[in-house]
Amino acid sequence: MFELPLPLTIALVVGTIAFAASGAVAGVRAGMDWLGVSSLAAVTAIGGGTLRDLLMVTTPFWLIDFWPTVGIIAATVLVVWVLALLAPWQTNPGWMRHVFTVTDAVGLAAFTVVGTDVARSAGFGVGPALILGVLSGIGGGIIRDLIAGRRISVFFTGEVYALAAALGSAAFLATSGLGAWTPFMVGIAVTLVVRLGAMALGWRVPTLPTSEP
């Protein structure tokens, strides 16, 4: 992990911490024990990247950098667990909801640009790189929501989630010739602005009417 180019390393570490935190928070809110919380944090942190790497027919990144990945996830779970003990979410629901929202958005942004960069570095074209970047960004959240029994927001209610990742990946690709740092900063910024802006302002993508209650 730490032998990668610095921008990619930072994005990978930030994404792992953010998605591990969002998974741990989801596990705490679902009433899981420490093993469940840890497992949910882990699959959220590595899920999207694993799906991306399997589609690219390469070894999943966390098997190559196993101990650094485990250490980052374990430290993140410990922090969330201690915070949950000090300020139980049942009596302080606001802070955990905000932590989940922010960490989920940061993880989405970071892993979207990581996935896009990894795909481009492997020789994939713009279209496949964008798709693999989006999958890398949204995959962990989908797995987290399935295991935690949450409604998968990326598929319902017009949530601006995959769209934010797609725009961030496109921004990364559009600025890929502007140096080592610029694509990462622009891609992450676009994804965060779109995702958090949509949540704050109530933006939705079009949905079809349904007869379900």
| pLDDT per position as a tens digit, 169-195 | 999 999 998 988 999 999 999 999 999
Judge whether 80 lies within some domain: yes
| Domain limits for position 138 | 6-201
Judge whether 213 lies within some domain: no
Cβ-count burial of 71 within 10 angstroms (0-12 exposed, 13-18 middle, 19+ buried)? Answer: exposed
| pLDDT per position as a tens digit, 104-123 | 999 999 999 999 999 999 99
Cβ-count burial of 86 within 10 angstroms (0-12 exposed, 13-18 middle, 19+ buried)? Answer: exposed
Residue 114, both tokens: 């990581």
Judge whether 59 lies within some domain: yes
Number of structural domains (the chain) is: 1
> Distance between CA atoms of 114 and 1, rounded to whole angstroms?
12
Judge whether 41 lies within some domain: yes
Judge whether 206 lies within some domain: no
Residue 53, both tokens: 């790497």
Among residues 49, 22, 179, 44, the alpha carbon closest in space to that of 114 is found at 49
| pLDDT per position as a tens digit, 25-62 | 999 888 899 999 999 999 999 999 999 999 999 988 88
| Angstrom distances, CA of residue 50 to CA of 3, 42, 46, 47, 62 | 19, 11, 6, 5, 8
Judge whether 79 lies within some domain: yes
Q: What mean pLDDT do residues 77-101 have?
A: 83
